């Protein structure tokens, strides 16, 4: 899209504009060259959303964006339909009108093995009379398919697949996807009107963050990023759609009406790969860099199998590969059956879905007293793991998914997400299925269950219920909380039953002489446990806050709370209003945090923990900040020598960077410490990931 000369020129004028926006007469600058400023913003959106390689920080982009937005507000006559500001601020959508596609959206024939592909190739060769066919192979993106129409270079509409003939018009929501250009110079290719097809995705990191936020809110998570993408496109609040950070790959041109014969003859591509190149050059995120061309089916077969192994390293979900005849004339010649094109086929990867039977439902009591139904299912292999039990969240979820004991159910395990029930099949019932009975009393202590009106969850509110206490302690010692290694769930349960621990402070007063008499506890393992408990006292404040298990306070919220104070007990001075001022803290969280710090029992417990020597001061507050890691993503692996892992991670966040939990193409930097293992190997295979040492990382920080 932009060659190096253009890139340099745009980056230079970015600097000039950044200097301009500080000037008092900024509106004079803008009125002289408003398109210039818009082009700068389009360029940086492209660098960020299409190329995944930003040249300026989010803050700098926002500064320029706000200058344009303010100018347009003051001078509404200057607004154009494709101004970068026009993606947002459209408010609520009333409905999604039905709209016919210019060309029906067909589906692809599926293949599952080499024989299927050899068969596909044989038929194509027979029909065309050719001895060998050139194929273009690209990922099969697992999202929601869309169709876009551009007319006279402007985005006219975006439509869902619907029944293939007619879909729902969702243009305003499509405009929230920053990698979809609002205008593109199709005229340079002699194109007047064009219909292009693609897939809207929610990438794995955004999906995880989205699901984590749902879980923190006590709402059941979504089964997979595909449902998240499809659901997001049907939201009627455009601001919410924008927050979902959707992405789109555009991979097929289904219709062209020509405007200029000469430009058509000289510039319109004659191959599928050429079309992907054209889309890329026009500013679309096409799979230009993800596709490969092969002569003959044998190499295609090898490639699709190789690519399946890389599947988990991608930042987004794919469910297979699509093999397309590269020559567009040959595509026309091969034509369609009533269902599928004869020039393309999908190669499906190993399924991450499986069917099973719902045998029974157990009810577990968690650390907040929430009673969670857990479905026991006939064991089923899904994506390489055996699933035999699966959370079904709450009573509403059971109703929503229409679940009955004995039902056939569809399970999905997508990426590193815990398995979920996608749906049940009521049409397969034989009349022997039974209703799932929710208990009225706590299955652990027998106390009557309670459900506040605004809540979807039944709770045991008996604070002395063993389940509350034990689950709370298990959470406190767990890896993401205080990370007391070798403590673990089994030991918590054992020590509780033996009366060694009754509450969290007891962890720091364990009777080791009694533990030494238990089976399986030698001198060495006790030494290890003692050391781990001692080490946990130094855990940073955010971990301690998370470990306390305050309702709705997940790891992210705990970090926000820790950042706000120098000492944990200062949180008791915050009103609900003040808590709500903190980043991403809403009414619900503010309420539970306030209640937690205004409960005498909790304050007594905290004082005990402070006396036991736990870290109540915010040690990270003194770490250097002010650096510019904005927009950059980091992941640490292996052993760091100079920094503790927690401190290194805190430094990334304090300097505006983001942490990722896995290696993917969304990762900018993998900081590899000593003895780095599989993450390093994975990162080496993704060219865009920069692998740096701890030293290099430290150099990126301000002195």
Catalytic residues: 140
395 and 458 Cβ atoms separated by less than 8 Å: yes
- Of 43 and 141, nearer to ligand IVH (C-beta) is 141
Q: Would you say 34 or 148 has its CB closer to ligand IVH?
A: 148
The answer to whether residue 247 forms part of the interface with ligand IVH (CB under 6 A) is: no
Pick the closer one to ligand IVH by CB: 227 or 539.
227
Residue 106 in contact with ligand IVH, rule: CB under 6 A: yes
Shortest Å distance, C-beta 319 to ligand IVH:
8
Which one of residues 101, 140, 475, 543 is an interface residue with ligand IVH (CB under 6 A)? 140
How far is CA 265 from each of CA 260, 262, 616, rounded to the nearest angstrom? 9, 5, 72
Is 42 one of the binding residues for ligand IVH (CB under 6 A)? no
**How many Å apart are CA 139 and CA 493, to the nearest integer?**
47
Closest contact distance (angstroms) between CB of 623 and ligand IVH is 44
When asked if residue 138 is in the footprint of ligand IVH (CB under 6 A), the reply is yes
Compute the least distance from the CB of residue 318 to ligand IVH, in Å.
8
Q: Is 53 helix (H, G, I), strand (E, B) or coil?
A: coil
Name residues whose C-beta falls within 8 Å of residue 449's C-beta, 6 or more positions apart in sequence.
371, 439, 440, 441, 442, 458, 459, 460
* 344 binds ligand IVH per the rule CB under 6 A: yes
In the complex, what is the shortest distance from the CB of residue 168 to ligand IVH, in angstroms, rounded to a whole number?
15
In this structure, are residues 104 and 120 in contact, taking their beta carbons and an 8 Å threshold?
no
Q: Nearer Cβ to ligand IVH, position 342 or 459?
A: 342
Binding segment toward ligand IVH, per CB under 6 A, in 135-143, 230-238, 499-507, 676-684: 135-143
**Does 252 engage in binding with ligand IVH (CB under 6 A)?**
yes
Q: Under the criterion CB under 6 A, does residue 141 sit at the interface with ligand IVH? A: yes
Q: Does 339 engage in binding with ligand IVH (CB under 6 A)?
A: no
The Cα-based distances of 573 to 370, 579, 598 in angstroms read 28, 10, 9
* Cβ(190)–Cβ(263) below 8 Å: yes
Choices 61-69, 340-348, 390-398, 694-702 (CB under 6 A): range interacting with ligand IVH: 340-348
Q: How far apart, in whole angstroms, are the C-alpha atoms of residue 241 and residue 176? A: 7
Quote the least distance from Cβ 253 to ligand IVH, whole Å.
10
* Cβ(146)–Cβ(248) below 8 Å: yes
Q: Between 149 and 322, name the residue whose CB sits nearer to ligand IVH.
A: 322
**CB of residue 294 to ligand IVH, shortest distance in Å:** 15
Q: Any contact of residue 346 with ligand IVH (CB under 6 A)?
A: yes
CA angle (430, 436, 438) in 5-degree steps: 170
Q: Applying CB under 6 A, which of residues 108, 571, 585, 667 lies at the interface with ligand IVH?
A: 108
Q: What is the per-residue binding string for ligand IVH in 202-231, x denoting contact by CB under 6 A?
A: ------------------------------
Query: Candidates 257-265, 341-349, 469-477, 617-625 — which segment interacts with ligand IVH by CB under 6 A?
Result: 341-349
What is the per-residue DSSP string for 316-366? S-EEEEEEEESBHHHHHHH-B-SSSBSSEEEEEPSPSEEEEEEEEEEEEE-
Chain position whose Cβ is nearest to ligand IVH: 145
Total residues interacting with ligand IVH, rule: CB under 6 A: 15
Nearer to ligand IVH, 7 or 254 (CB): 254
Tokens of 657: 């960077």
Using CB atoms within 10 A of its CB, is residue 286 exposed (0-12), middle (13-18) or buried (19+)? buried
Q: Which residues pair with 353 in a beta bridge?
A: 412
**459 near ligand IVH, judged by CB under 6 A:** no
Binding mask 509-548 for ligand IVH (x = CB under 6 A): ----------------------------------------
35 neighbors 13 (Cβ within 8 angstroms) = no
CA atoms within 13 A on the CB side of 479: 0
The answer to whether 199 contacts ligand IVH (rule: CB under 6 A) is yes
**Contact call for residue 561 and ligand IVH (CB under 6 A):** no
Is residue 251 part of the contact set for ligand IVH (CB under 6 A)? yes
Residue 18 is classified by DSSP as: H
Region binding ligand IVH by CB under 6 A among candidate stretches 140-148, 256-264, 276-284, 438-446:
140-148
> Counting beta carbons within 10 angstroms of the beta carbon of residue 620, is it exposed (0 to 12), middle (13 to 18) or buried (19 or more)?
buried
Residues in the chain: 703
Which segment (102-110, 363-371, 489-497, 620-628) binds ligand IVH by CB under 6 A? 102-110
- Give the angle subtended at the CA of 381 by the CAs of 379 and 383, to the nearest 5°: 145
Rounded Cα distance, 486 and 477, in Å: 9
Q: Where are the beta strands (DSSP E) in 22-161?
A: 98-100, 110-111, 134-141, 144-151, 154-160
Rounded-to-integer distance, Cα 193 and Cα 258, Å: 7
How many Cα atoms within 13 Å fall on the side-chain side of residue 4? Answer: 0
Q: At 387, which helix (H) or strand (E)?
A: strand 385-391
Closest separation in Å from C-beta 140 to ligand IVH: 4
Q: Is 107 in the site for ligand IVH (CB under 6 A)?
A: yes
Q: Which residues of 312-326 are buried (b: 16+ CB within 10 A; e: fewer)?
A: ebbbbbbbbbbbbbb
**Considering beta carbons, is residue 341 or 472 the nearer one to ligand IVH?**
341
| Using rule CB under 6 A, residue 124 touches ligand IVH | no
Q: How far is the CB of 106 from ligand IVH (least distance, A)?
A: 5
Residue closer to ligand IVH (CB basis): 121 or 199: 199
Structure tokens at 241: 């759609």
User: From the CB of 197, what's the least distance to ligand IVH, in Å?
Assistant: 6
**Which of 84, 341, 638, 657 lies at the binding interface for ligand IVH (CB under 6 A)?**
341
Give the list of residues 6+ apart from residue 107 with CB closer than 8 angstroms, or none: 164, 339, 340
Regarding 137 and contact with ligand IVH (CB under 6 A), the answer is: no
120 binds ligand IVH per the rule CB under 6 A: no
Nearer to ligand IVH, 136 or 548 (CB): 136
Q: Judged by CB under 6 A, which stretch of 182-190, 202-210, 338-346, 401-409 contacts ligand IVH?
A: 338-346
* CB 160 to ligand IVH: min, Å: 11
The least distance separating ligand IVH from the CB of residue 338, rounded to whole angstroms, comes to 13
Rounded distance, CA 612 to CA 340, Å?
69
- If binding is defined by CB under 6 A, does position 197 make contact with ligand IVH? yes
Nearest to 28 by CA among 74, 60, 66, 65: 74
CB of 428 to ligand IVH, least distance (A): 25
Give residues in contact with ligand IVH (CB under 6 A). 106-108, 138, 140-141, 145, 197, 199, 251-252, 322, 341, 344, 346
């Amino acid at each position: 899209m932009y060659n190096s000369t253009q890139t340099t020129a745009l980056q230079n004028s970015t600097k000039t504009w950044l200097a301009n926006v500080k000037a008092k007469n900024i509106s004079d600058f803008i009125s002289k060259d408003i398109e210039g400023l818009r082009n700068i913003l389009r360029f940086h959106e492209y660098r960020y959303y299409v190329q995944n390689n930003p040249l300026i920080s989010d803050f700098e982009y926002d500064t320029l964006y706000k200058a344009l937005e303010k100018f347009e507000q003051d001078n509404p006559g200057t607004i154009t339909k494709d101004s970068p500001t026009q993606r947002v601020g459209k408010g609520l959508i009333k409905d999604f009108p039905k709209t016919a596609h210019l060309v029906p959206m067909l589906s692809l024939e599926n293949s599952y093995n080499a024989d299927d592909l050899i068969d596909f190739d044989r038929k194509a060769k027979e029909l065309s009379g050719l001895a060998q066919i050139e194929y273009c192979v690209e990922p099969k993106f697992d999202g929601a398919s869309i169709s876009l129409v551009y007319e006279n270079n402007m985005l006219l509409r975006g439509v869902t697949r619907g029944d293939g003939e007619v879909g729902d018009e969702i243009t305003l929501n499509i405009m929230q996807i920053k990698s979809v250009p609002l205008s593109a110079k199709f005229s340079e290719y002699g194109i007047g009107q064009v219909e292009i097809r693609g897939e809207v995705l929610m990438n794995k990191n955004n999906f995880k963050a989205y699901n984590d936020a749902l879980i923190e809110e006590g709402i059941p998570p979504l089964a997979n990023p595909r449902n998240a993408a499809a659901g997001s496109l049907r939201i009627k609040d455009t601001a919410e759609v924008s927050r979902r950070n959707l992405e789109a790959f555009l991979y097929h041109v289904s219709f062209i009406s020509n405007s200029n014969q000469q430009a058509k003859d000289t510039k319109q591509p004659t191959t599928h790969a050429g079309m992907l190149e054209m889309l890329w050059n026009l500013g679309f995120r096409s799979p230009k860099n993800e596709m490969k061309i092969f002569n003959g089916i044998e190499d295609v077969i090898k490639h699709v199998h190789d690519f399946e192994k890389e599947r988990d390293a991608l930042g987004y979900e794919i469910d297979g590969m699509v093999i397309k005849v590269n020559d567009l004339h040959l595509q026309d010649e091969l034509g369609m059956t009533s269902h599928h094109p004869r020039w393309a086929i999908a190669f499906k990867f190993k399924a991450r879905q499986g069917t099973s039977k719902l045998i029974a439902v157990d009810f577990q009591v968690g650390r907040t007293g929430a009673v969670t139904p857990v479905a026991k299912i006939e064991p089923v292999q899904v994506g390489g793991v055996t699933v035999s039990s699966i959370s079904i969240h709450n009573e509403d979820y059971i109703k929503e998914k229409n679940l009955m004991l004995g039902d056939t159910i569809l399970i999905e395990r997508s990426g590193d997400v815990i398995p979920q029930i996608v749906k049940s099949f009521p049409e397969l019932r034989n009349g022997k299925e039974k209703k799932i009975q929710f208990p009225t009393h706590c299955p652990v202590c027998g106390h009557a269950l309670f459900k506040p009106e605004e809540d979807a969850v039944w709770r045991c509110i008996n604070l002395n219920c063993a389940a509350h206490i034990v689950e709370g302690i298990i959470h406190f010692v767990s890896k993401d909380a205080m990370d007391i290694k070798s403590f673990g769930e089994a030991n918590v349960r054992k020590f509780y039953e033996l009366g060694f621990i009754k509450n969290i402070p007891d962890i720091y007063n364990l009777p080791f002489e009694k533990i030494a008499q238990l089976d399986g506890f030698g001198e060495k393992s006790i030494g290890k446990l003692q050391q781990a408990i001692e080490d946990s006292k130094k855990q940073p404040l955010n971990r301690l806050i998370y470990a306390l298990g305050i309702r709705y306070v997940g790891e992210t919220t705990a970090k926000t709370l820790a950042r706000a104070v120098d000492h944990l007990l200062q949180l008791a001075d915050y009103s609900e209003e003040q808590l709500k001022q903190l980043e991403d803290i809403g009414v619900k969280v503010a309420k539970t945090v306030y209640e937690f710090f205004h409960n005498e029992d909790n304050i007594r417990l905290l004082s005990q923990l402070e006396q036991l020597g736990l870290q109540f001061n915010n040690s990270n507050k003194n770490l250097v900040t002010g650096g510019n890691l904005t927009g950059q993503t980091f992941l640490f692996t292996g052993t760091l020598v100079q920094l503790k892992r927690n401190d290194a991670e805190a430094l990334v966040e304090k300097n505006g960077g983001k942490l990722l939990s896995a290696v993917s193409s969304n990762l900018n930097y993998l900081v590899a410490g000593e003895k780095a293992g599989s993450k390093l190997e994975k990162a080496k295979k993704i060219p865009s990931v920069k692998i740096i040492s701890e030293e290099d990382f430290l150099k990126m920080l301000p002195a």
